[in-house]
Each structure stands twice: as C-alpha cells, then as structure tokens.
Chain A
Amino acid sequence: MALFALRRLLLSIPLLLGITFVSYVVISLAPGGPLDFLTPEDPNASPEVTARLIQEFGLDQPIHVQYWQWLKRAVRLDFGRSFLPDGRPVLTKIGERLPVTLFLNLIEMAIIVGLAVPIGVLSATRQYSLYDKITTIFVFVGFATPDFWLALLLMILFGVQLGWLPISGLRSLNWEYMSFWQQQWDFFAHLILPIVVATFGGLAGFSRYMRQSMLEVVRQDYVQTARAKGLSERVVISKHALRNALLPVVTILALALPGLIGGSVIIESIFAIPGMGQLMVQSVFSRDYPVVMGNLVIVATLTLVANLVADITYGLVDPRIRFGGRRRRR
C-alpha cells in the first residue's frame, strides 16, 4: 500500500510539470497580453512604457525561457508579483482570498453531503414512490435552475422586498461597531443566501449519484442474504447496503476537493464576495500571468492529491483493490 502510494506520488511530479507547462503556453497564447490592460487604449499612453514593462516582466523572452524562469522560482514557492499596478505578491493575493472561499465551500459541501445522502437513500429504497418522484422533480429543478437567476430572485425577495437579509458582501459597514455576537450573526446572515443558492444547485447531482449507487447495491446478493438472515430492513440498509453504496460517492467527494478552493465565479460576483473565483477570472481577463499560474498550480496540485486520496481510500475501503493481483484504476 505504501509502495503504491509512493509510486503514485512520484508519478504525479512529471504530471504536475506537464500541467504547468501546458497552462503556461496556453495562457501566453491567449490573444492579448497583460500590457493591453496596463497601457490602455488611450492616445496619451506612452509606447516606451509598454516596452519597459515587457522587459520588466520578461515577456520579451521566448516562451520556454519564460517558463523556465517561472519554474525556477516556483519550485522555491516564489510565484512572483502580480502584473497589475498593485504589484503585490501572488501568494498574498491568493492568501487573502482563500479563507473565504474555503469556508463557504466547506459549509456548502457539508450541507450537500448531509442532505444528499438521506435524500438519495430514501429515493432508492422507495423507488417510484411519491416521495421518489417529488424529490426527483425537486433535484432536477435545482439542477436546471441557473445560479444567477435564483440568486437574483432570492435577493429581491429577502433583500429588497422583505428586507430580512443583506443583499451582498460579507459584513455590514458598521461591523466594527457591533458586539461580538452581533458580528457573528451579521456574518452568518450575509452567508445565508450564497450558501442556499450554491447548495441548491449542487444537491441535485450528488443525491442522484447516491440514489443510483444505492439502487445497484440493494440488488446485490449479499443484501438478499442479509434480508434472508431475518435482519430488519433498517439494519440491512444502514449497515450492509449503505457502506457499499457510499464507495463511488467517496470517490466523487474526493474529486470535488479542488473545487473547494476554486470558488464559484457567478456566486462570488453576484454576492460581491471577494473569493478565489473572482480572483481567477479577473486575472485571466487581465492576463495577469503570475496570479493565473499561482492559482493553477494550487488547483492542479490539489487535483492530483485528490486523485491520490481517492485511489488510496478506495483501496482502503475495498479489499478487492487492496489485495488484488494488479492495481486497478477505479
């Protein structure tokens, strides 16, 4: 098992290099460059400034040299400074955005899992019942509803019409003057709408996976055996079926790990939450290569780690993989 993990770990190094190289080339090939945004479409803009910045950023070098320079610094975890006029270090910029996104997504993920598992299990055990049909409709409506539309409707209802919840942002402007508990409530109130919107969309897929997986498992012989032993249906489902049905779901969960720091552009923009999704999109639009690359490295690393974790947990929970003659991929 350890050998297996080590082998996978070593294999991911060239993979990561490949990912960063391809990303670097692709972002550099995207039409326009950072200078198009720093030196605007303005007649008073000086051409020599462009030349000066191209040199300062090293953009006059051939692309493989640029990548090499970047890589040499990146292995020392130095991702450089943003090309934007604030010129702040990439890690600082990511650091101030990451906690919010991580926090939001963890809560969201917990709610999704907490709701999706029971919804899926119940739908599966009562397949084609009224409950199953209602939840099916509900999750498909959730799946089909555009985030931004739902967000706007909820904002109009709870923010403008009823005035119960704040519309956007993370804190009220008088936050500094609140008592401790008021501050906690204020922060929480700001999170309600974004979390509801994000959860509503995510719930659908996850509960469907759960339902599908459960449906497969309850048809298996060992579930029949458990029933034949005279165990109650509750014990059959929760002890014998559920554990097995969770297997593929665990994989999906692990693979969702990189999404935790990715952040949702739509939700962050519409609720004015300064998170990773906004940062990524803004840096892509302004061709801020250092920030884009910094982000990509983190996401790529997490994806690889998640894959690894998924494989290992899979091996842990499924003896066939652990003891199988050949290591199988999922």
Chain B
Amino acid sequence: MPRRRPRGRSLVVWVACGLLGAACNGPIESGPDEGPTAGGTPAYGDTFIQASIGDIGGLIPSLTSDQSSHEVGGMIYDGLVKLDKDLNTAPSMAESWTYSRDCLELTFKLRRDVKWHDGRPFTAEDVLFTYQTMINPKTPAPFKEGFLLVKDVQAPDPYTVRVTYDKPYARAVETWGTYVLPKHRLQSFAEAGTLRESPQNSRPIGTGPYRFQEWKPGEKVVLVASPDYYEGRPYLGRIVYRVIPSQATIFLELKARGVDYASSLTGIQYARQTEYPAFRKAYQKFRYPGSGYTFVGFNLKDPRFADLRVRQAFAHAINKQELIDGVRLGLAREATGPIRPGTWAYTDDVKRFPYDPEKAKALLAEAGWKDRDGDGLVEDRDGKPFTLTIRTNQGNDERKKISEITQQRLKEIGVQADIQLIEWAAFIKEFVKPRRFEVVVLGLGSGTDPDQFVVWHSSQRGPDQMNRTGYSNPEVDHLLELGRASCVREDRVRYYHRIQEILAEDLPMIFLYTADALPVVAARVHGVSPAPSGILHNFTEWFVPKQQQRYTSG
C-alpha cells in the first residue's frame, strides 16, 4: 500500500471483511480544517505510528497475500517500476524502459546507485534471481501468473534486463513492479524451496526507503529510514506498526493520540464520533472514493436468474441511494461497473436502472412471475412462489444491512427472501466456489489495471476460478482478450468502455456502491496529498517540522 506500487498482484481481490486499507483514488473532498498542512520546513526525524489490525504473515511479501505484509514489505523492498499518484507506471529501480516495435520485447535500464541495505550493490542478477524464484514451482508465491507469461529474461550486462514475451501482454511493465529479492541472501533457500524458513523472512534486507529493525510477533514491527536511499532519505525517521486486533481499540488509541494514522474510519466514526474540536486539531481527515465495490451477485446457473428480465426487475427494486445513505451514512458513491472510478479506463456512461418497484413488478410479470393467489407474493405458472436466500459472510455489518434492506425491497415486488450469514471460509468454500447460491452480497476490489479477464471471461467459470456468477458473453470474451493483449492505451480504453456498457446491460450482478476511503493522519505530519492511487503514495515526502516532532526517531 505505501506508495502504491504494482506488484504483479491483486488485480481484483474479493474483499474479505470491512474496509481495511481500502486503496483509494479520485479527488479529495475534504482536507483538514485546522492545523497547518502546508508550510513548515521539511525536517528529518520523528516516529510515525500506524495501527495494524493483523500481524504480518512474513517479510518476503511475494509469499504472502495479507494486507499488513504488503504494507510493511512495500517500505522495505522496491521494484523496477512503481505506480505514480495517478496509477501510471513510473521509474523506480529501473531508470527507463523501452518496448520493441511488436510489443514482445521489453528492456529495462537499471539505476547504478541502488544498494541493498547491507551495502551490496543491486544488479540485474537480482532481477533475474527474483524472476527465477517466482516461476520456480517450489516457490509458494500466490501471485505468479504475470511471470508465467514471460518467455525469457536475460541480463546482457549488470544494469540491463531484457524480457521477452510470446504474445503482447498489456500488464507487462506493471508486473515488474514486483519486489526484487536479494540473490545473495536467498539463493540456496530458493533452490531448496525453503524460502519461508530463511532468515530473510524474519529479518529482511531490501532496497526500499526503510530498513527493517525489529519484529515482535503479535506486537509490533519497527522500520527505520534508510539514510542512503537512492531517491533521497525519507523524512520520517522511524515507522512503528502496532498490532491492535480490535477496531474499537484502534479508534480509542486514535482519540488518545496513541497512533498517528488509521487507513480508514467507519462511516459513523467519520461523520459523528470524530467531529469534536480536539480531534480536528490532532488529525487531518480525508475522504475520497475507495477502490472496491459492493455488489449483489446472481447465480446465472439458476434458471430464474438466467432470465434477464428477472435481473432487471431486481435492479429496479433496489434503491442504491437508500443503501448508501443507510449503510454508509452517505459516504460512498454509486457504482455502475467494475472499473475503478477516476482511472483512465473508467466510464459511467452506461445504462442505469433507477428505483422503480412498479416497473420491477411489470418485468417480473413479463417473465411469468405473477401474484396468482393474492398473498402478495409472486408465483410462476405452477403456483410455485419466488423464494430465495440472500447469503453473505458473517462479521461484515455493511453487507448484513444491505441484505436486510434488499430483503425488504424484494418483498415489495413479491419476492420472499431469507438471509443467511456464514463464516468466511465456509461461505467461500461451501457456497461461492461450488456456486451453490442464489444471490450473494459481496465485495470486489478493482485493481490498478482494468484487465478483469478472470472475473468476466467465460473460460473462467470453473470451481476454483473467479467468474463466480457464471457470466458468459462472446463479445465480452473477445474484448477481454483484446484488452489483455494490447499495449496501446487508446485501444484499451475503447475495449474497456464497451465492456462496462455491456456489463451494465447484462446485469450479472448489481453494482451497488464504491465506499469512500476515510483515512486520518496526525496533524503534525505535513506533505500528505491524496491522489487516485491513495494516500501513502508519497510517504517518503511526509515530514514533521522540527518544533512539532513528538518522538525520537530511534
């Protein structure tokens, strides 16, 4: 999350619970009302204390999939490229790159002034090693797809890396934002397939802006600024990630000024519980659209939902604004499709289905669902009533409320819905994966690249694949294939706009809303400027003026 760099991961993550670390984009709506953000002289020092709801899984981020590990890893490691504030690829350890004319060969020129934290020089050998480790079947890296498409990687000299592909791959450059691993520390472990047991996994060295200092499992992780970081020494001298497994406690620590940053407040915390002078003085609150969306998904295998008119009826029965107001206290924006709002591939110029219960009933009647016995519920020709179960995971209050409101709205159009809340692991394994559901309420993250092949392509409907609704449309299939294989942005924009239009009409799911990210940062920290890629993208430029520094930097 820090400085939002691509890492060949999470195009789309099914958001498990809550809004932890919702990544972010779009314009800021509100900044601090008090406390100086602009001005002040940059100064080195101070400690920045973050609360983390879970402990890190390990310190080789390529092996982990949890948010905390990637946040910490992003400070310690760097990739060849990073994503800038507008989610464009930008140089990091590579100073430049060039494509061959056919988009099949990609050549990176590496910086010569990059050193590992132990003083050894960083070279193309490390990049080669990272690639080989990623594709090694013995490496349990959850995100290696991007590397499996690579045909060959070569290092003609210590500061040049040449990558070749069999066919053009739209996300090729982004893939190389993956964290580069130190060959001299890991080679034997990578070959033996015992990376998880290597010292690097508990005491890592990297090339990033912060050096690892300490990890007390379950308690805290401490990093210190790297004085000779190649892009300039970061101002904040030390970062402490405190593991606090309770949201309520994190919030109290905020109120007592025990932590300096929270990645996202809840709606009620943002709107009510932090609106008092002392809090406004101590913290800067931010609000901008997050990166994921919440949806009501249909199982298209179910003959009832295979009928477009039924899906349209449901879309007309649900009042999105009511959900946004009721569930998010208005702190969300209506979603019209799966692409991250504000990014280059996004469009909201698509078909919409305003709240209209009468129209919904008419559509149901057209599909053969009418109230034949006057009990207020609709039945099919054989008198079988339209009943279904809305399923979602336990422990997510927003989704529970959405289910309840939807239940009520469906009743208005004569559909009897029950609600079932299921523990996350069981929910995914027993219901979502085998597609044993009728309607689910879930969230999906929209990644940094608009390629959503795996979510919408008809070839991805298998039990362990991500096309959970079972959506299939030949035109979308074709566009997804084109979009994935092109390295020309103008073409890709056209493909993805068309995909969003079709999805909005086909309604494999009802896109409800994109929740706002609501982070807070201590007021003494200057230089914070949220952008489409989130709030931490320029973390190394944050600083606390000398006279406002609160802690030593270790």
Give chain A's interface residues, CB within 8 Å of chain B: 30-33, 36-50, 52-53, 56, 81, 84-88, 93, 96-97, 148, 152, 155-156, 159-160, 163, 166-170, 173-174, 177, 268-272, 274-275, 278-279, 282, 285, 287
Contacting residues, chain B, for A155 (C-beta < 8 A): 249, 252
Task: Tell yes or no: B144 within 8 A of A by CB.
Answer: yes
B143–A45 touching, CB < 8 Å: yes
Determine the distance from Cα of A140 to Cα of B548 in the docked complex, in whole angstroms: 49
* Interface-located stretch among B113-121, B211-219, B350-358: B211-219
Among A42, A81, A152, A174, which residue has the most Cβ atoms of chain B within 10 A?
Answer: A42
A271–B249 touching, CB < 8 Å: yes
- Distance in angstroms from A220 CB to nearest chain B CB is 49
B142–A46 touching, CB < 8 Å: yes
Across the A-B interface, give the 8 residue pairs with the lowest CB-CB distance, nearest first.
Answer: A274-B218, A32-B425, A87-B196, A43-B454, A41-B14, A31-B426, A85-B58, A85-B57
- Distance in angstroms from B235 CB to nearest chain A CB is 19
Contacting residues, chain B, for A287 (C-beta < 8 A): 425
Give chain B's interface residues, CB within 8 Å of chain A: 8-14, 16, 47, 49, 55-58, 60, 63-65, 69, 137-138, 140-146, 148, 193, 196-197, 201-202, 216-220, 240, 242-246, 248-249, 252-253, 255-256, 258, 423-426, 428-430, 452-455, 460, 464-466, 551-552
A159–B256 touching, CB < 8 Å: yes
B466–A43 touching, CB < 8 Å: yes
Determine the distance from Cα of A232 to Cα of B63 in the docked complex, in whole angstroms: 73
Chain B's closest residue to A89 (CB) is B197
Determine the distance from Cα of A48 to Cα of B8 in the docked complex, in whole angstroms: 17
Chain A's closest residue to B196 (CB) is A87
A49–B429 touching, CB < 8 Å: no
- Distance in angstroms from A37 CB to nearest chain B CB is 7
Determine the distance from Cα of A177 to Cα of B47 in the docked complex, in whole angstroms: 14
Which residue in A56, A87, A274 is a CB contact (below 8 Å) of B58? Answer: A87
Contacting residues, chain A, for B220 (C-beta < 8 A): 173
Contacting residues, chain A, for B552 (C-beta < 8 A): 174, 177
B243–A274 touching, CB < 8 Å: yes
A85-B57, A271-B249 known; A41+B428 contact, CB < 8 A? yes
Contacting residues, chain B, for A272 (C-beta < 8 A): 219, 242-246, 249
Contacting residues, chain A, for B465 (C-beta < 8 A): 43
Chain B's closest residue to A46 (CB) is B144
Determine the distance from Cα of A48 to Cα of B534 in the docked complex, in whole angstroms: 32
Which residue in A31, A43, A170 is a CB contact (below 8 Å) of B429? Answer: A31
Chain A's closest residue to B62 (CB) is A85
Chain A's closest residue to B56 (CB) is A86
Chain B's closest residue to A170 (CB) is B219
Contacting residues, chain B, for A41 (C-beta < 8 A): 13-14, 16, 428, 466
Contacting residues, chain A, for B9 (C-beta < 8 A): 42, 44
Contacting residues, chain B, for A53 (C-beta < 8 A): 140
A160–B141 touching, CB < 8 Å: no
Contacting residues, chain A, for B143 (C-beta < 8 A): 42, 44-46
A39–B65 touching, CB < 8 Å: yes
Q: 5 A-B Cβ contacts within 8 A?
A: A42-B466, A44-B146, A49-B141, A86-B57, A163-B256
Chain B's closest residue to A275 (CB) is B218
- Distance in angstroms from A145 CB to nearest chain B CB is 16
A47-B464, A152-B248, A168-B253 known; A174+B148 contact, CB < 8 A? no
Contacting residues, chain B, for A32 (C-beta < 8 A): 424-426, 428-429
B11–A43 touching, CB < 8 Å: yes
> Given A43-B460, A46-B145, A148-B248, list of 15 further CB < 8 A pairs?
A31-B429, A40-B13, A40-B65, A40-B142, A42-B10, A42-B12, A42-B466, A44-B145, A44-B146, A49-B141, A85-B196, A85-B201, A160-B255, A168-B258, A169-B219
Contacting residues, chain B, for A279 (C-beta < 8 A): 218
Chain B's closest residue to A32 (CB) is B425
Contacting residues, chain B, for A50 (C-beta < 8 A): 464
Determine the distance from Cα of A39 to Cα of B248 in the docked complex, in whole angstroms: 29
A167–B252 touching, CB < 8 Å: yes
Determine the distance from Cα of A33 to Cα of B430 in the docked complex, in whole angstroms: 12
B12–A274 touching, CB < 8 Å: no
B137–A48 touching, CB < 8 Å: yes
Chain A's closest residue to B47 (CB) is A173
- Distance in angstroms from B49 CB to nearest chain A CB is 7
Contacting residues, chain B, for A270 (C-beta < 8 A): 246, 248-249
Determine the distance from Cα of A285 to Cα of B66 in the docked complex, in whole angstroms: 14
Chain A's closest residue to B64 (CB) is A85
Which residue in B69, B193, B218 is a CB contact (below 8 Å) of A85? Answer: B69
Determine the distance from Cα of A173 to Cα of B47 in the docked complex, in whole angstroms: 10
A173–B240 touching, CB < 8 Å: yes
Contacting residues, chain B, for A86 (C-beta < 8 A): 56-58, 196, 201-202, 217
A173–B49 touching, CB < 8 Å: yes
A44-B11, A87-B196 known; A52+B138 contact, CB < 8 A? yes
Contacting residues, chain B, for A174 (C-beta < 8 A): 551-552
Contacting residues, chain A, for B460 (C-beta < 8 A): 43
- Distance in angstroms from A164 CB to nearest chain B CB is 11
- Distance in angstroms from A42 CB to nearest chain B CB is 5
Which residue in B148, B197, B217, B242 is a CB contact (below 8 Å) of A96? Answer: B217
A278–B142 touching, CB < 8 Å: no
Determine the distance from Cα of A44 to Cα of B137 in the docked complex, in whole angstroms: 16
Chain B's closest residue to A49 (CB) is B140
Which residue in A30, A49, A159, A274 is a CB contact (below 8 Å) of B142? Answer: A49
B551–A160 touching, CB < 8 Å: no
Contacting residues, chain B, for A163 (C-beta < 8 A): 256
Determine the distance from Cα of A39 to Cα of B144 in the docked complex, in whole angstroms: 11
B58–A159 touching, CB < 8 Å: no
Chain A's closest residue to B54 (CB) is A282
Chain A's closest residue to B175 (CB) is A44
Determine the distance from Cα of A168 to Cα of B244 in the docked complex, in whole angstroms: 8
Contacting residues, chain B, for A167 (C-beta < 8 A): 249, 252-253, 256, 258
Determine the distance from Cα of A163 to Cα of B258 in the docked complex, in whole angstroms: 11
- Distance in angstroms from A310 CB to nearest chain B CB is 32
Contacting residues, chain A, for B47 (C-beta < 8 A): 173
